[in-house]
Amino acid sequence: MQMSTGIGNAGSGPESAAVREPARTTARHSAGVRAVRPARLPGTLTILRTMIRNPIEGWPPEVYEAPLLRSSQVGRPCLFVMAPELVHEALVEKADIFVKDNVMRRTLGPALGEGILTANGAHWRWQRRLAAPVFRHDRVMGMVPAMIRAAEATAERWASQQGQRVDVAHEMMRTTFDVIADTMLSGAPDMDVERVAEAITDSLDSIGWPLALSLLGAPKWMPYPGSRKAAAGRAYLRGCMQAAIDARRAAGATDGADLTSLMLDAADPETGQTMSDEQIIDNLLTFIAAGHETTALALTWSFWLLSQYPKAAARLRAEVEAVAPHGVTPENIDQLVFTRQVLQEAMRLFPPAAVIVRSATEDTTLGAEPVHKGEALIFPIHAIHRHRTLWEQPDAFNPDHFTPEAVKARPRHAFMPFGGGPRICIGMMFAILEGVAILATLARRFAPEPEIPMTPEPQLRITLRPRGGMPMRLKPAGDAGI
């Protein structure tokens, strides 16, 4: 169990700033016991409404206190898994039994096809093996200058917008999109960043609907509010990716230098089969979708938390001044230890991917609990990160949760923003370096502040977004009254 050691209490911001208190229940954590059941199960209509609006609100409050919770969603039995040792058993030891769930695959399928995030079995393994070299440590370190360049471009823009109101969520999407385009698509020369970001939003905004319809077993073609906009967004994105592939082919630049050229050259070692353009597009969209919005949200929530906790903001700035007085570089980035802790604590309180789902391919057990074939396992990362039995003051912002000693004293899966097991996020190291580079570069010079005191509502749209964006006024860091 973790002790809070300072920042959360010492900061002058309200300790409850990061709080979204779940209702109290009597369920208690004791690993190995059978799953508890929620005190009250909502009706199907309520579940569907919540699914469409914000699925996180539909989780039974017991998920914040119990190790394992048996529940059901629209008649389908499911198990919420919170205890770290059970998360480990499911995601690591029984990864072959608990595979990506069909409901999620169907929800994401129209946008991402059978790419690395959604595929299962041999088809997934091949794609993961193929992409792995791009994420080798030395390759990712080589991408740090692109991350710093994108951060500095945003800093330049912000310098000319001092005192103005910006949507920090949008700003971060733009910054991380620049990074992904630069590193994964070799600059994708003609891509209209604004339009692409809009198309991603269009294709995700109504995603609660296909999720709910899929749970109901409705046919795939069934229209829903926002389905045409989503389809138009997807069509635009696919067209952009096809253009990027064509440009790469025309330039004859299949030199393995980035993900696009790796995929153009790839052949299955067993069958010799190459990837079709459709498959390459699925994967490029997967990397764009999985790889830029998530990091952008971690940064967005970090800026909001820093605005609420000025002492943490000052400590972060002091670190950057000391470690990187002339700017972040690949050589000094690893020394930005507190900056990384802030990012991790932001991802604890607001995990960009707030839930992952698996389903059982056979009858089995989890701990002492029988699990039947077809049953869904839900890993509510947001609840694990604020679990009453795993974290002291679980809702308070305290970057010292991530000192090396604190991390060592905690079970591995008490903190799992990148998932776990063989399907763990392939871009984890990339995301952390990118987040640190951008946060350090910007927070040193700017202290964005909400115009009016506000606690943004986290809304789950596959990723955990602040509802209505994150409008903040740009202030120079020195003006923040510290």
Q: Where are the alpha helices (DSSP H) in 54-143?
A: 84-88, 102-112, 121-131, 137-141
353 touches ligand HEM (CB under 6 A): yes
286 touches ligand HEM (CB under 6 A): yes
Closest approach of Cβ 467 to ligand HEM, in Å? 19
Question: d(Cα 226, Cα 243) in Å, to the nearest integer?
Answer: 26
DSSP 406-462: HHHTS-GGGS-TT--GGGS-TTHHHHHHHHHHHHHHHHHHB--B-SS---PPEEEES
Question: d(Cα 439, Cα 233) in Å, to the nearest integer?
Answer: 30
CA gyration radius for the chain?
Answer: 22
Q: Which is nearer to ligand HEM, 291 or 367 (CB)?
A: 291
- Among 13-21, 206-214, 268-276, 291-299, the segment contacting ligand HEM (CB under 6 A): 291-299
177 touches ligand HEM (CB under 6 A): no
- Quote the distance between the C-alpha of residue 29 and its chain's center: 26
Q: Which is nearer to ligand HEM, 27 or 240 (CB)?
A: 240
241 touches ligand HEM (CB under 6 A): no
117 touches ligand HEM (CB under 6 A): yes
128 touches ligand HEM (CB under 6 A): yes
208 touches ligand HEM (CB under 6 A): no
Both structure tokens of 386: 């604020």
427 touches ligand HEM (CB under 6 A): yes
Q: Which is nearer to ligand HEM, 353 or 442 (CB)?
A: 353
307 touches ligand HEM (CB under 6 A): no
419 touches ligand HEM (CB under 6 A): yes
**Non-local CB neighbours of 251 within 8 Å, separated by 6+ positions:** none
Q: Which residue is nearest to ligand HEM (CB)?
A: 427
- Among 204-212, 249-257, 290-298, 319-327, the segment contacting ligand HEM (CB under 6 A): 290-298
431 touches ligand HEM (CB under 6 A): yes
Closest approach of Cβ 394 to ligand HEM, in Å? 19
Closest approach of Cβ 130 to ligand HEM, in Å? 11
Closest approach of Cβ 33 to ligand HEM, in Å? 26
Q: Which one, of 98, 423, 400, lies nearest residue 392 by Cα?
A: 400
| DSSP E strand stretches across 173-331 | none
Which single residue is written with the structure tokens 């507190």?
338
- Among 31-39, 202-210, 420-428, 468-476, the segment contacting ligand HEM (CB under 6 A): 420-428
Question: d(Cα 25, Cα 64) in Å, to the nearest integer?
Answer: 9
Question: d(Cα 451, Cα 471) in Å, to the nearest integer?
Answer: 8
359 touches ligand HEM (CB under 6 A): no
- Among 7-15, 66-74, 294-302, 320-328, the segment contacting ligand HEM (CB under 6 A): 294-302
418 touches ligand HEM (CB under 6 A): yes
426 touches ligand HEM (CB under 6 A): yes
Both structure tokens of 387: 């679990």
- Quote the distance between the C-alpha of residue 414 and its chain's center: 16
Query: How many residues interact with ligand HEM (rule CB under 6 A)?
Result: 22
How would you list the strands of the sheet with 98-100, edge to edge? Answer: 68-73, 76-81, 376-379, 356-360, 98-100
- Among 50-58, 221-229, 402-410, 413-421, the segment contacting ligand HEM (CB under 6 A): 413-421
Residues linked to residue 357 through DSSP beta bridges, in sequence order: 378
Which stretches of the chain bind ligand HEM, using CB under 6 A? Answer: 116-117, 128, 286-287, 290-291, 294-295, 298, 352-353, 356, 417-419, 423, 425-427, 430-431
